Structure 1
Amino acid sequence: MTKVPTFEELLSSARHSAVHLEMRDTYMESDPSYVAWKAGVRNSAEDNDPELRPWLKWVRDATDRGVSVRRARVFSVPESDYVKFEHHVSEANIKAGEAIRWLPRRSATDIAFPGNDFWVFDNELVLVLHFDGNGECAPGEWIELTTDPVVRDLCMGSFEAVWNRATPHAEYRPV
């Protein structure tokens, strides 16, 4: 069996781009940062410190190498609590160098989407993410890697369609 690279390894090997499309209204509600946010904790070190939130360091390292890291979110309105939480913690992602845009689902009716969230690295390698009905990582193999050009083209086409009509993070405020 081939070892699947970690996300850190995938991002650190990106040469020019990493794009991510999120299409769920909730993810991993068991996440301690989300649980704390729901309890009223805002701007905790766990949300903003690259030593406590490694994602921020990985993004900074990638963007410092010249890699464009972009994330687009398609979501329902009014927003779920989880989407509001994502908006809140996204400011640290922006400071780390990630570009984020927001598109209400009602503005995406004419966009063809793959069935799952994904990352595409360097317009070549697709990382498909599988979640269960509650937004937790699906049991078993929750990630899938492919270089299938049909999958890649669908993912990149849907990402760019969303990106082109979505609102930049600095301009979007949850309802």
Structure 2
Amino acid sequence: MAQSLSNFADLIRSVEHSAVHLETRDVYAIPDEDEGFAAWQQGHRLDPDDRASWWRPWLDLVQEVTAKGVVVRRARIVSEPVSEYIRYEHSFTFTNVAAGEEIRWLPRRQASDLALPGNDFWLFDGNLVQFNIFDGDGGWVHTDQTDEPAVARLCTRAFEAVWERAIPHEKYAIN
């Protein structure tokens, strides 16, 4: 079961300044109805000139919030060599960038000395944290939210430490 985009859309639309996302997994479960991964495995790649074929409604939402001045940043910590899923994700990340997200990649070996929360998270305006809880196979289980100041500070420090070391998407090559 995936988190409802409509609920998340309402949340991210309420942001005034920033939304940051830290991803730490090498694999996320792909729903059975998602044909994109199978097509990618068979050689299909998104066409940079065919924006209509890109992932909707997420990219529309990113464009909407960044157009009002919200900074949306995503950092991904990945093992190297990368998993097949990360190769897939990297192949279409240009669409997120085109929509207005800033994205960086950090090889996991460069994160060994960083204090990081145990789960992926979104941090909204530096004060509301949404942890995304996944099972061992990468399937979304549920979401925990907190506005506890100490947790928000921990997540802010963790994200900024990763961001500082991470490689901008345009410069991160997968071999």
TM-score (normalizing by structure 1) = 0.90
Q: Which ranges of structure 1 fall in alignment gaps of 5 or more residues? A: none
Question: What is the rounded CA distance, in whole Å, between the counterparts of 2:136 and 2:118 in structure 1?
Answer: 13
Q: Which one-letter code corresponds to 1:7 in the other structure? A: F
2:107 maps to 104
In 2, distance between residues paired with 1:49 and 1:149? 40
User: Which stretch has the larger CA shift, 22-31 or 114-123?
Assistant: 22-31
Tell me the residue number matched to 1:22: 23
Unaligned runs of 5+ in 2: none
Contact between 2:46 and 2:54, CA under 8 Å: does it hold in 1? no
Q: 1:28 offset after TM fit, Å?
A: 1.6
* 1:20 positional shift: 0.1
- Structure 1 position 35, deviation (Å): 2.5
User: Please, which of 118, 122, 132 is the counterpart of residue 119 of structure 1?
Assistant: 122
The CA deviation at 1:150 is 1.8
For 1:36-115, list aligned pairs within 5 A: 36-43=39-46, 48-49=51-52, 53-115=56-118
Distance change in 2, residues 1:50/1:144 (3 Å) = farther
Number of aligned positions between the proteins: 168
- Percent identity over the alignment is 48
Please say if 1:135 is aligned against 2:138.
Answer: yes
Cα deviations by residue, 1:116-149 (Å, 9 ceiling, x for unpaired): 00000000110110011111112xxx11111011
Q: 1:134 to 1:44 in 2, by over 3 A?
A: farther
Measure, in 1, the Cα distance between the counterparts of 2:162 and 2:68. 26
Compute the displacement of 1:101 (Å). Answer: 0.3
| TM-score (ref. length: structure 2) | 0.90
CA RMSD of aligned residues (A): 2.0
CA deviations 1:6-48 (Å, max 9, x no partner) are: 1101111110000000000001233432222122221169x95
Q: Which letter does structure 1 place at the counterpart of 2:44? A: V
* CA gap 1:172/1:52 in 2 versus in 1, 3 angstroms: closer
Q: Give the Cα–Cα distance (whole angstroms) in 2 for the partners of residues 105 and 153 of structure 1.
A: 22
Match of 2:162 in 1: 162
Deviations 1:73-110 (A, max 9, x none): 00100000111111111100000000000000000011
Runs of 4+ in structure 1 displaced over 2 angstroms? Answer: 29-32, 47-52
Q: Name the CA distance, whole Å, in 2 between partners of 1:52 and 1:114.
A: 28
User: CA 1:118–1:39 in 2, change beyond 3 Å: closer, same or farther?
Assistant: same
